[in-house]
Structure 1
Amino acid sequence: MSNLEISNDSIRQFEQTGYLLLENALPTSLLQQWRNIADKLEKQALAEYEQGTQSGDYCIVQDPVGPRLMRYDNMIELQTEASIELLACPALITLSEKLCGIGAIPIAMDILYKQQHPHPVINWHQGAQHPRTYPYLNVGIYLDDAPEGDGCLRYVPGTQHKLEDIQQLSQKHGWEIPGTIEQPAKAGDILIQDMMILHGSQPKRSPGCRRTIYLELRCVQGIIESQSQSEVWADIRKQFMALVLERAQHIPDGWQHFYPLRKVNQSQLVTQMRAKKEPAIPAVWAIFPVEHPDYPVPSELREND
C-alpha cells in the first residue's frame, strides 16, 4: 500500500471505542524485512540463552515445553535504520498525523512473540495511565496473522477514559467482561489503540509463533506536561523523528518547523539514545492473582496441562 487515508468517521470511531484497525497498511517489502529481523532476533536470543550470555534487551521464559522468547525490546536503538524506514512509511506517518498530531515521537518499539499454549497469557490490563490532554497511542504492527478464536486481542470499548477496577472485573467475568469484542488481524495490518483501553489476549491455540511490533507514540507536549520522561530524553526522540520525516514521502503541514530536519547526525544520535535510556510508564494490571474457571487460561486448556 503506497497511500493510506484515515477518514473523519474512522477518527470518531477511534475516539469513541479506543481502537482502530488499518487493514493491509504495511508495504510488502517492510513486512518481509521485519519478519526476517524477528526471525534472526529470536534465533540469536535463544542461542545466547543456551550459552548463558543473554542480554537485558529480551525476555525468555521457561515454558513447560522449553525456553521460548516472549519479547525483544529496544528496536529503535538496536535496529535503528529499519526502524526509521518503518516509521517513515505512509501508514505510520498518516496515523501519527491524524491520531497523535504535531509533536508525535516514538516512546518505545518492541517485538512481542506470542507462542502456542502453554505460554504466558496477556491478562486484562490498561496501558500507561496519564493526563489525557494529549493523545498517547499503542500501535500494533502485525507480522503474522492473529485470527479470531486464537488468542487475538480482546478490547472493552470505551474504557480508555479512566482507570477501571481490573481486579473486580476479571474476577467476576473472566474473559467475558460485558461489551468485550475480539479483534482479529492479518499480517500487514496495523491495529491502533488508545494507550489506556482495557485489553488482553487469551492463549494461542495453534502451532507456531505470532510476532507483533508494538510502537508507543506520544506528543512531546504530553511528556513535558506529565514529566514521565525528561525534556532531554524527549528532545532526543524528537531528533529521531526528524530522521524519520526526512525519509517520508510526505511531511504533514507544519511539521517541518517543529522537528530539526537536516540538522541531526544519525550515528551521534544513536549513541545518545543508547546512553540516555528512560523507561516508559508501566501498564496497570490486577493487584492479586485472579481465580476464575476460564481466566486467564480456559478450563479445557488447563485440563491438558
Structure 2
Amino acid sequence: MTITESRPDLPALASQYAENGFVLVKGLLSKAEAAYYRETSHALLARLNRADDPTWAAARDMTEAPTTLRHLHDAQFYDAAFSRLLVDPRFTDVAAAVMGVENVQLHHTKLFVKPPENGSPFPLHQDYPFFPHTHHRVGAAIFHFDDAPEEKGCVRVIPGSHLAGPREHDESGGFHLPDVPFESAVPQPAEAGDVLFFTYLTVHGSGVNVSDQARTTWLVQYRDPADPPTVKTHDFSLGQGMMLRGFDPTGRTV
C-alpha cells in the first residue's frame, strides 16, 4: 500500500487540541488508503467470524429498536496492515504533538463497524475511568476508513470538557454520564481518511447509524510512557506497551 505524504501544521493542531480537547485532522490518509483499510477491516471480521456484540447496555436506552455493533481488539495482531499504520509517522507525529511529548506508547486498539440501519450508539463518557493514568497524558485516535456523516452515527464531543478533569461515571451498563445531555455534544462528521484525535478526558459518544451503509473506524489508544497507570486494566490487550514513536524512558514492560 502506497503511503502518501501529508504534513499538517503540528503547532496549530496542538493548540486546538489543548483548547478543545480534540482535533479532526483532515485527509491524514488518502482516499485510496482508507478504502484499502476498509476492505481489509471487513475481510478480517468476516474471516474471524466472531459473534460477540460489544454494545453497552446503557446504549440500548438511547434507542427504541435493537442495535448491533461489530468489533475486534488488537487488529494489528491479525493483519500486518494495521501494524504498519500504528507506526506511520503521519499518525505518531500528530499524537506526540497534541500530547506535548516526544514518545508515544500503545495502550490498545479496537476495530469497530456500525452496521447499516441499526448500528449501535455510544452514550457520552470519558475514556478515563476505563484506564486511569497519573498525569492524564493519554489520548485516542479514530481512523475513519469510510465517510462518517451524522446519519452514520459519527463521533460527538463536548469541546473543552477535558479541562474539568475526571468525572464521576455511572458504572451500570458501561461507564457513562447519564446527566450530560447527548444533544450537548457537537457532531464531528468525517470523511474517509480523516483521523479524530482527543484526550481521554474529553466527553464524547456517538449516535446510531441509520444510514444504508456501514461505518468503519479503527480506534487507537496511546499514552506518554512516562505517565504511569493508577490501576492495572486492559492488560489483556495484545501489544500494550509497544513503542510507536521514540523510546520508553521508564523501562517498564506495560
TM-score, normalised relative to structure 1: 0.64
Counterpart for residue 97 of structure 1: 96
User: Alpha carbons of 1:60 and 1:147: their partners in 2 closer, same or farther (altered >3 Å)?
Assistant: same
Q: How far apart in 2 are the matches of 1:222 and 1:259?
A: 10
DSSP-derived class of the 2:114 partner: strand
Is the contact between residue 148 and residue 191 of structure 2 (CA under 8 Å) also seen in structure 1?
A: yes
Letter of the structure 2 residue corresponding to residue 148 of structure 1: E
Could you tell me which runs of 5 or more consecutive residues in structure 2 were left unpaired when the two chains were aligned: 171-175
1:15 matched residue in structure 2: 18
Q: Unaligned 5+ residue runs, structure 1? A: 50-57, 246-254, 261-275, 279-305
Matching of residues 192-207 of structure 1 within 5 Å = 192-207=197-212
How many aligned residue pairs are there?
231
Query: Which of the numbers 2, 5, 8 marks the counterpart of 2:8?
Result: 5
Structure number, greater radius of gyration: 1
**Cα distance, 1:89 vs structure 2:** 2.4
Choose from 183, 186, 189 the match for 1:184. 189
In 1, Cα distance between equivalents of 2:234 and 2:155: 32
Q: Secondary structure at the match of 1:222?
A: coil
In structure 2, C-alpha distance between the alignment counterparts of 1:192 and 1:94, rounded to whole Å:
12
Q: SS of the residue aligned with 1:112?
A: strand
| 8 Å CA contact retained: 1:137, 1:218 | yes
**Greater helix fraction, Structure 1 or Structure 2:** 1
Task: State the structure with bigger RCO (CA 8 A, min sep 6), 1 or 2.
Answer: 2
| TM score, norm. by length of structure 2 | 0.75
Q: C-alpha distance in 1, partners of 2:139/2:32?
A: 25
CA contact (8 A) 2:74 2:109 kept: yes
Moved over 6 A (4+): 63-67
Instruction: Determine the structure 2 residue equivalent to 1:252.
Output: none
Matched, 1:146 2:153: no
Alignment of 1:65-214 (within 5 A): 69-79=69-79, 81-100=80-99, 101-129=101-129, 130-131=132-133, 133-161=135-163, 162-164=165-167, 174-177=181-184, 180-214=185-219
Amino acid of the structure 2 residue aligned with 1:186: E
Task: Determine what percentage of the aligned residue pairs are the same residue.
Answer: 18
Q: 1:217 aligns with which of 222, 225, 228?
A: 222
1:23 shift after superposition: 0.4
Q: 2:38 aligns with which of 30, 35, 38?
A: 35
Closer, same or farther: CA 132–8 of 1 in aligned 2, 3 Å:
farther
- Please provide the CA RMSD for this pair: 3.5
